[in-house]
């Protein structure tokens, strides 16, 4: 598949924002002491990332003014469900921010962070199912897609939370978040590695024989029926060499999982703060690379029909 | 501004979408409101489809140009063209003719293979559409896009294993074969012309058109008697369009003077389950 940058930015920005907000909500629910101003600022960072992600998703649409129509088919379409859950989640985070700003106490102070955690989980599920429900894109049609969207979002968000806590000198919060961020990053790395292994071993269910019904062992396309490409050749092929895909796979594995874990180990053993900031900075471009590879590795069966210009 | 508000308030927003319009207005007699969309998994009484005869397709692309001409001028158009006279022309087409080579040289066979939307009975492109712009017609099983509701997200194209949908990069809406819905019901045309443009254009009669649910239709008989098969049956989309496999016909009198070809096993002779 051709990786569209609108979707790469949307899913990574929203994923990191969800992870950040979840980390803060869980810390608050666990009773970790943190500065009220810091919490408001950190939540605002999450909200800005979410709105930026929403904006990026609009760039994917051919008719932006009709976007509201996308809420209609929630009974059958995961994209429709995502379109409903994303603004609802943004509203929920906004409501929580407002309640903290107003200093609301009592039951809402507990209920809102719980709702925010549940909303984030639901949004990851909807986003990932958009890809995982396409059964003939074998690289995507697996529960690992849901696991990776969730775990990578949690990892990047909690690393960002650690970086913000380090910058805001929230020692108590960092003490709690650091092990959480490290463990979840390790888990995300293992889960993503599992999907890379799975992709490497996949055998395509559709073949040129099943696509055309011509049962000859040797069958080649001589012409795709056009000389200069079409939507089919632009949307479903990434156009980069295998070397680029391979190198990006290594790059994101290092930048998203290995190096942040090394930096976390450095931070633990030297009681340093800067490694958390560096880890988060390293993860940002690696997130885009990871999502790019997620698209590039997906082989659409329609590509069988578009092999030779002829 | 007002129109979208009206649409949002209408309770029957999706059900009564006009979709592709026929050129003639609806009859004046008051009829109960008809259900336009087929439900998922619903068995329809009528399913229009094409049957492609691979024995006689010569790869002339007449169906491609005829399709483009009709649809760029009809309710589905205009269809984009970029650099049509340049070095790299590209644009929107609903139908493509591809060419494949089967077997080992010198006993190879060249197969010309027209490909358009298969109007699946279980179309995977329809339920994924977030706006309801993509739908399958309850009355005749044609899969259509309502261009006024399409937001151009391309998700339906991802959900089609056959690559049958092409976004119109000028209008930024998804387009696809309509089985010439604005032609086959047009009572102003002579009865013989009420067929898809590709069917009318084919010089070798490689494209048959009809109702595959009617056991006595030309298409049903062809599928039954000549081993019609579906593309990518592994995804259980139940394509309505089917293909007739190439069959080598032995010549009654001249057989002795012509060396037999060694390729018949290359072709399927029975329908695929």
Omega of the bond leading into B106 within 30 degrees of 0 (cis): yes
Contact B266 A214 (CB under 8 A): yes
Give me the residue label for tokens 């888990």: A187
User: DSSP assignment, residue B99?
Assistant: E
Mean pLDDT value across residues A31-41: 93
CA distance A1 to chain B (A): 9
Q: How many Å apart are CA B165 and CA A121, to the nearest integer?
A: 33
Mean pLDDT value across residues B58-78: 95
Contact of B109 with chain A, judged by CB distance below 8 Å, is answered with yes
Q: How many Å apart are CA A132 and CA A143, to the nearest integer?
A: 7
Give the CA distances from residue B150 to residues A139, B156, B173, B175, in Å, rounded to whole numbers and listed in that order: 27, 10, 6, 10
User: Is pLDDT of B272 > 60?
Assistant: no
CATH architecture of B48-246: 2-Layer Sandwich (3.30)
* Other beta carbons within 10 Å of A107: 8
Contacts of B9 in chain A (CB under 8 A): none
Contacts of B158 in chain A (CB under 8 A): 1, 134, 137, 300
Contact B266 A72 (CB under 8 A): no
Q: What token pair was written down for A201?
A: 């071993």
Contact B151 A61 (CB under 8 A): yes
**What was the pLDDT predicted at B233?**
97
* Residue partners of A294: CB distance under 8 A and separation at least 6: A3, A131, A148
Contact B130 A69 (CB under 8 A): yes
Q: What is the pLDDT of residues A136-166, one digit of tens each?
A: 999 999 999 999 999 999 999 999 999 999 9
**What was the pLDDT predicted at B21?**
44
User: Is pLDDT of B251 > 60?
Assistant: yes
Q: What is the pLDDT of residues B137-196, one digit of tens each?
A: 999 999 999 999 999 999 999 999 999 999 999 999 999 999 999 999 999 999 999 999
Contact A225 B64 (CB under 8 A): yes
User: Is pLDDT of A233 > 60?
Assistant: yes
**What was the pLDDT predicted at B3?**
59
Q: Domains in chain A, ordered, with CATH? A: 5-305 (1.20.1630.10)
Q: How many Å apart are CA A205 and CA A184, to the nearest integer?
A: 34
Give the CA distances from residue A207 to residues A303, A305, B124, in Å, rounded to whole numbers and listed in that order: 10, 10, 19
Q: Where are the domains of chain B?
A: 48-246
Contact of B266 with chain A, judged by CB distance below 8 Å, is answered with yes
Q: What is the pLDDT of residues A281-301, one digit of tens each?
A: 999 999 999 999 999 999 999
> Which of B90, B130, B234 is opposite residue A228, by nearest beta carbon?
B90
Mean pLDDT value across residues B80-89: 94
A14 in Cβ contact with A86 (< 8 Å): yes
**What was the pLDDT predicted at A310?**
76
CA distance B257 to chain A (A): 27
Contact of B157 with chain A, judged by CB distance below 8 Å, is answered with yes
State the average pLDDT for chain A.
Answer: 96
Mean pLDDT value across residues A76-86: 97
Q: Which of A234, A227, A230, A235 is nearest to B85 (CA)?
A: A227
Contact B267 A135 (CB under 8 A): no
User: Is pLDDT of A57 > 80?
Assistant: yes
Q: What is the pLDDT of residues A239-258, one digit of tens each?
A: 999 999 999 999 999 999 99
CA distance A197 to chain B (A): 24
**In terms of C-beta density within 10 A (0-12 exposed, 13-18 middle, 19 or more buried), how is residue B27 classed?**
exposed
A222 in Cβ contact with B110 (< 8 Å): yes
């Amino acid at each position: 598949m051709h990786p569209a940058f609108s979707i790469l930015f949307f899913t990574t920005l929203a994923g990191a924002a969800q992870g950040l907000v979840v980390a803060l909500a869980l810390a608050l629910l666990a009773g970790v002491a943190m500065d009220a101003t810091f919490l408001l600022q950190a939540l605002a960072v999450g909200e800005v990332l979410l709105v930026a992600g929403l904006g990026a998703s609009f760039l994917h649409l051919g008719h932006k003014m009709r976007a509201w129509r996308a809420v209609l088919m929630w009974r059958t379409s995961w994209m429709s469900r995502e379109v409903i859950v994303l603004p609802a989640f943004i509203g929920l985070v906004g409501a929580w921010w407002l309640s903290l700003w107003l200093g609301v106490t009592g039951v809402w102070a507990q209920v809102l962070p719980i709702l925010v955690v549940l909303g984030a989980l639901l949004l990851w599920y909807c986003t990932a199912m958009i890809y995982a429900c396409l059964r003939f894109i074998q690289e995507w049609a697996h529960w690992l897609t849901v696991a990776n969207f969730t775990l990578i979002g949690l990892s990047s968000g909690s690393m960002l939370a650690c970086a913000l806590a380090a910058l805001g000198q929230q020692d108590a919060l960092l003490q709690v978040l650091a092990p959480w961020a490290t463990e979840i990053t390790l888990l995300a790395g293992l889960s993503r590695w599992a999907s890379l292994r799975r992709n490497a071993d996949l055998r395509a269910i559709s073949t040129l024989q099943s696509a055309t019904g011509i049962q000859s062992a040797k069958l080649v396309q001589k012409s795709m029926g056009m000389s200069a490409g079409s939507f089919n050749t632009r949307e479903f092929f990434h156009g980069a060499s295998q070397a680029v895909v391979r190198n990006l796979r290594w790059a994101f594995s290092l930048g998203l999982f290995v190096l942040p874990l090394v930096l976390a180990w450095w931070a633990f053993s030297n009681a340093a703060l800067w490694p958390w900031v560096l880890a988060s900075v390293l993860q940002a471009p690696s997130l885009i690379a990871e999502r790019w590879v997620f698209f590039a590795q997906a082989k659409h069966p329609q590509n069988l029909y578009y092999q030779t210009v002829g | 501004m007002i129109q979208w508000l009206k649409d949002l308030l209408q309770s029957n927003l999706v059900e009564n979408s006009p979709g592709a319009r026929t050129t003639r207005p609806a009859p004046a007699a008051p009829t109960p409101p008809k259900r336009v969309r087929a439900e998922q998994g619903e068995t329809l009484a009528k399913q229009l489809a094409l049957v492609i005869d691979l024995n006689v397709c010569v790869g002339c692309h007449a169906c491609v140009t005829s399709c483009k001409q009709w649809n760029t001028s009809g309710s589905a158009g205009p269809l984009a063209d970029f650099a049509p006279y340049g070095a790299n022309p590209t644009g929107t087409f609903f139908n493509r003719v591809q060419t494949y080579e089967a077997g080992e040289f010198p006993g190879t066979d060249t197969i010309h293979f027209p490909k358009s939307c298969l109007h699946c009975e279980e179309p995977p492109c329809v339920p994924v559409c977030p706006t309801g712009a993509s739908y399958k017609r309850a009355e005749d099983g044609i899969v259509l896009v309502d261009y006024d509701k399409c937001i151009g997200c391309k998700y339906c194209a991802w959900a089609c294993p056959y690559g049958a949908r092409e976004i119109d990069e000028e209008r930024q809406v998804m387009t696809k074969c309509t089985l010439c819905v604005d032609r086959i019901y047009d009572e102003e045309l002579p009865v013989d012309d009420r067929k898809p443009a590709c069917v009318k254009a084919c010089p070798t009669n490689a494209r048959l058109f009809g109702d595959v649910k009617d056991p006595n239709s030309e298409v049903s008989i062809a599928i039954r008697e000549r081993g019609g098969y579906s593309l990518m049956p592994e995804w259980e989309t139940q394509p309505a369009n089917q293909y007739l496999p190439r069959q080598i016909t032995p010549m009654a009198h001249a057989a002795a003077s012509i060396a037999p070809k060694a390729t018949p096993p290359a072709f399927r002779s029975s329908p695929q389950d």
